Amino acid sequence: MASEFLWYIIPREGAYPWEPEGRRPVDLGYLQQLAGTVERLGYSGALLATDLYDVWPLGSALAASTGPGFKPLLAVHPGLIAPTLLAKMALTFDTLFGGRLRFNVVNGSTASLREFGLHVEHDERYALSAEYWSIVKRLTSGEVFDHHGRFYDLRNAGASLRELTPVQEPHIPLWFGGSSPAGIEMAAEHVDVYLTWAEPPHLLKEKLDRVRERAAAHGRTLRIGLRVHLIVRDTEDAAWAAADRLLDVTSEATYARQLGVKATEDGVGWQRQFRHGGRVPAHARDLEEHPNIWPGMSLFRPGPGTAVVGSTAQVVERLAEYQALGVDTFILSGNPLLEEAYRVAETVLPALRDHG
């Protein structure tokens, strides 16, 4: 199938938004402008990640100001909202906005979930997630049923949702990334699009082979998506100079915070992003581990820590390598989000579509 391209929207926006001086003022009007731009430029939607704002009011506001071409991918932690209530929220959203909702399943970390009163260790998080999303899938497909599981005991679930006719079939799509054996097993059995953060292609191939093997064991096939940051300029030297500037403007406090996150984070995917070991190089390119593949973003911000850095032709070539591994969905970003959405849409995407 043809590749699908999404952008990224969060309220921490700017040239280097992990530092206060690198952020620009952002209000609802700005975020709606960004969403409208994403739609006009031909992206199929955007990932709304867990950040300062809750994704439900933000997603509703952006869906209301855009058309059918903008499909929000909402990041949701299983277990923080009762599955029947989440299904009602999702079916309401889809009814009002024409079947545009997609879920990005986020399992979080043991430490972060304790803030919300959810005390589950690493593998237990995935067991909870598997049960939770199996329920949500049935509810958003219109079923009414009883469920007796490890975490949930539901009676006549879905009865109150009968008049909310599902818009999407067979259910609201689930997108999910997990790199541990427990995460891969959960993905293989339950999700529709397996998401991964960028890594050197040979490492990613090994992981995707395991994902496909486990999906086949469940009689399933999955679409493959890649979440990656881009630093793309007219020339390779200019792109690496932009990466060098990010090192220069980042504070020691931010570097220390990220090292602290690394020490407490139990997610395998996050550990795989921290391949530099926390070393802050004199030059960004000192961390280049495959042509144009740079894990330095994890020095600044949580989440996906790898960027593709290079000229337009080089970025297209690297993304085409991922396409060759079976990636058909890309969630892209660049800072600032608004300006880089234009740059990528006008340079990288046409060439990548032609390449595909």
What's the average model confidence in pLDDT over 18-38? 97
Nearest by Cα to 261 from 278, 280, 279: 278
Nearest by Cα to 104 from 56, 169, 60, 164: 56
168 has a pLDDT exceeding 80: yes
What pLDDT does residue 179 have?
A: 86
CA distance 60 to 101: 10
24 has a pLDDT exceeding 70: yes
What is the rounded average pLDDT for all residues in the chain?
91
With cut-offs at 50, 70 and 90, classify the pLDDT of residue 350. Answer: very high
CA distance 126 to 78: 9
Structure tokens at 344: 């990528």
What pLDDT does residue 125 have?
A: 86
79 has a pLDDT exceeding 80: yes
CA distance 252 to 258: 10
What pLDDT does residue 180 have?
A: 87
Structure tokens at 110: 């043991």
CA distance 157 to 91: 14
Tell me the whole-structure pTM to 2 decimals. 0.93
112 has a pLDDT exceeding 60: yes
What pLDDT does residue 258 have?
A: 81
**262-318, pLDDT tens digit by residue?**
555 545 555 565 565 667 889 999 999 999 999 999 898 887 889 999 999 999 999
What pLDDT does residue 278 have?
A: 65
What's the average model confidence in pLDDT over 255-268? 66
**140-161, pLDDT tens digit by residue?**
999 999 999 999 999 999 999 9
For residue 322, the one-letter residue type is Y
CA distance 251 to 299: 11
Question: Out of 114-123, 128-137, 157-166, 196-205, which region has the weakest mean confidence (pLDDT)?
Answer: 114-123
What's the average model confidence in pLDDT over 204-218? 96
